Amino acid sequence: MYDGIVQDLIDEFGRLPGIGPKSAQRIAFHILQSPSFDVSRLSQLLGEVREKVRFCEICGNVSEQDRCSICRDPRRNPALICVVEDAKDVAAIERTREFRGLYHVLGGAISPIAGIGPDDLRITQLMQRLADGSVQEVILATNPNLEGEATATYLSRLLHTLEIRVTRLASGLPVGGDLEYADEVTLGRAFEGRRTL
């Protein structure tokens, strides 16, 4: 619809997740028409991100060094490991400021449909981290969906051979939610996990 580069830029933005053709067009025109938008900065960051950013050799989180800022932090409790599917989940949990242990990023979840088995995840690396016996608790924080639950079940069986406490994040009603609109599985879980007040 447009001449060369503008259309190419729209197409390229349209390849990114969550950006449809209309959004891609809006973004391309914003870049073209807003002198305040720093094109060279975005361009430079795109070049640097793949070059300089890698994955922490311990936990698999994103990092610009061999070890990520969490694994390097001496104030974090190394006896607690929270297992997540993705590096984005690390950021989500960090935002809660509730957890002061370390992480282990699996790099996905077991999904027979997507052809992802235990061997495709960073499970061997997790077992290596647990081998010296210094870890007291592993919190399984995979997503509360089919794949995440399957992964948690698989890991809990594997970890029960070790002398480590294995826990799973609570399922229940989301805070600020409405009981009436909760799905029956979530509501059922909220009953199962009810606490004495």
User: Where does this chain bind a second copy (CB under 8 A)?
Assistant: 1-6, 8-9, 12-13, 15-19, 23, 25-32, 37-50, 52-53, 62-65, 68-69, 86-88, 91, 94-95
Q: Least distance to a second copy from the beta carbon of 149, Å? A: 23
* Of residues 37 and 185, the one with the C-beta less far from a second copy: 37
- Name which of 94 and 163 has its Cβ closer to a second copy: 94
Taking the least distance from each CB to a second copy, the nearer of 3 and 119 is 3
Q: How far is the CB of 33 from a second copy (least distance, A)?
A: 8
Nearer to a second copy, 63 or 142 (CB): 63
**Cβ 170 to a second copy, closest distance in Å?**
23
The answer to whether the CB of 79 falls within 8 A of the CB of 137 is: yes
- Sign, CA dihedral 123-129-131-133, equals negative
DSSP letter (8 states) at residue 23: H
Tokens of 94: 């960090």
Shortest distance in whole angstroms from residue 108 CB to a second copy: 10
Q: What is the DSSP string of 105-158?
A: E-SS--BTTTTB-GGGTTHHHHHHHHTTS---EEEE---SSHHHHHHHHHHHHH
Terminal-to-terminal C-alpha distance of the chain:
63
